Structure 1
Amino acid sequence: MAERDLRTGDLELDRVMAEFRANSREFSDVMAQVGEVTGEAASRDGKVRVRVTATGQLTGLHIDPRAMRMGSQELADVILDASRRATEDAARRLMEVTRPYL
């Protein structure tokens, strides 16, 4: 559906409406970029890799078979650490996307 160029005859109102439409498009573009932000991190040895959304939701977890040699608590700690760092990475990336608008 094509956007119509509405004019009211009031120059100031028309200007404000045009500005609002432009800002709305820009906001939609930014929100689309925000939705694509992810964060990633890996354990120091690379045996565990984690990917999260901008909100920190886990969307990917890779555990190398060699990591299974760790004890369960050590593996849990490595996963949690990688997840925390991935969330920090996502927050950093999110800030880069939104900084011009804040």
Structure 2
Amino acid sequence: MNSGPVDLDAVTRQFEAHVTTVRETAAQVARIEGEASSRDGSVRVRANATGAVTDVQLGPTTAGVSREWLGRTIVELAHRAAQQAAAQADTYYAGLREAQRELQDRIAAVDPLAAQRLRAATDATRAPVHPAPPAEPRRRTW
């Protein structure tokens, strides 16, 4: 550990810059979407990194397919699109994690207990967010 004086103003500036970077990254991640299409291209689904479906496009050939196939296909494609978006989001977060570790080390030089609390509070952000796999479709009759 560095035994020299710690420039608290520099640590504060670094923290403020990190907060700005986190906000910018969150805005970028919010715009990330993945896309998946059926083999024949008749169904296309877009989803974001949290798994929310943002668009479903059905081609004219889907008018003649079963609702069961169509529903199952949409769910599967939504999951694939969300996984794709989550993988892209992970690359954004990797850079943040490194900057976060560096900042926590600087804070530890000033206040080890505060750094320990910050590490504990941010551990959840280190795990990549991936959508849950799709549930087995239930048969419904309308």
TM-score (norm 2): 0.61
**What aligned pairs does 1:37-56 form with structure 2 within 5 A after superposition?**
37-56=32-51
1:32 pairs with 2:27 = yes
Q: CA RMSD in A?
A: 1.6
Which runs of structure 1 show a deviation greater than 4 angstroms over 4 or more consecutive aligned residues? none
Runs (5+) with no aligned partner, structure 2: 1-5, 98-142
Q: How many residues align?
A: 93
Residue equivalent to 1:6: none
Aligned mates of 1:54, 1:33 — CA distance in 2: 11
Once the two structures are superposed, residues 34-90 of structure 1 have per-residue CA deviations (whole angstroms, 9 ceiling, x without a partner) of 111111111111100001121111110000011121111111111111111111111
**What aligned pairs does 1:66-85 form with structure 2 within 5 A after superposition?**
66-85=61-80
More strand by percentage: 1
Residue equivalent to 1:8: none
- Identity among equivalent pairs (%): 33
Find the residue that maps to 2:40 and give its secondary structure.
coil
